[in-house]
Amino acid sequence: MSASVDPLAAIKELIPQATDRASLDHPAINVPAEAVVEALRQLRDRAGYDFLVDLTAIDQGEGVADRFTVVYHLFSTATSTYVRVATDCRGGAAPVVPSVTALWPAADWHEREAFDMFGIRFEGHPDLRRILMWDGYPHHPLRKEFPLAGVETQLPDLEVAAETGTKVLPAPMAGGPFVASSGEMNLTEAEPRAKDESWNERNVKPE
């Protein structure tokens, strides 16, 4: 596909199920979950989008019918153009979508991260397990209901617990959002702090 061709028109010709998706930067489409693997295959093999740049997810929040959406960002090394593909997961609060590791082996870690952070299961993934949090961690930190200050959780490793002086830890980095102190200090050297420091105030002893 040459750079002069309207990418959305060409994509929708290849993928009849595709519909336009609002986007301020790159061409973007929505594709049903049952068609997403074939759609991505067509984009790779016939439209020249040969590089999977990123795979991430969106949580619309509890009570939304199509709560979870997986988003793929593709790049064409021939035309230096991008396209964004989104697909709504099946399963509601237990979201499921097909894996694309057979198309792009690099999707392996992207899908594991989405599984870890959002709880999205990727059917056909060769080794779907957590990649950031430990096995058995009961939460998915990027879901909307997960509190910004984190959740106190039993540590699985007694040696780590002994070193930290506690058996529980909050989510990594206290969950954010993060701020730096204003004033005369050099902000490039400032240590960011979570707005909610209540867990540290209760559990971290001053040196």
Domain count for the chain, please give it: 2
User: pTM for the full model?
Assistant: 0.74
Task: Check which CATH number belongs to the domain holding 13 and give it.
Answer: 3.30.460.80
Is there a single domain that holds both residue 36 and residue 93?
yes
Is there a single domain that holds both residue 43 and residue 90?
yes
Is there a single domain that holds both residue 170 and residue 108?
no
Pairwise CA distance, residues 199 & 123, whole Å: 37
- Over its length of 207 residues, how does the chain's per-residue pLDDT go in tens digits? 444 456 677 778 878 888 999 988 998 999 999 999 999 998 999 889 999 999 999 999 988 889 999 999 999 999 999 999 999 999 888 999 999 999 999 999 999 999 999 999 999 999 999 998 888 888 999 999 888 777 777 666 555 555 555 555 554 445 444 455 555 555 555 555 555 666 666 666 665
Residue range(s) defining the domain that contains residue 42: 7-123
Pairwise CA distance, residues 191 & 179, whole Å: 9
Is there a single domain that holds both residue 98 and residue 179?
no
Q: Which of 76, 108, 123 is the last residue of a domain?
A: 123
- Rounded to 5 degrees, φ, ψ at 55 are -140, 125
Pairwise CA distance, residues 167 & 174, whole Å: 16
Pairwise CA distance, residues 75 & 81, whole Å: 6
Q: Which two tokens stand for residue 15?
A: 């993928």
Contact (CB, 8 A) for 24 and 82: no
Is there a single domain that holds both residue 110 and residue 12?
yes
Nearest to 56 by CA among 3, 133, 109, 17: 109
Contact (CB, 8 A) for 147 and 131: no
Is there a single domain that holds both residue 111 and residue 170?
no
- H/E element, 198: helix 198-203
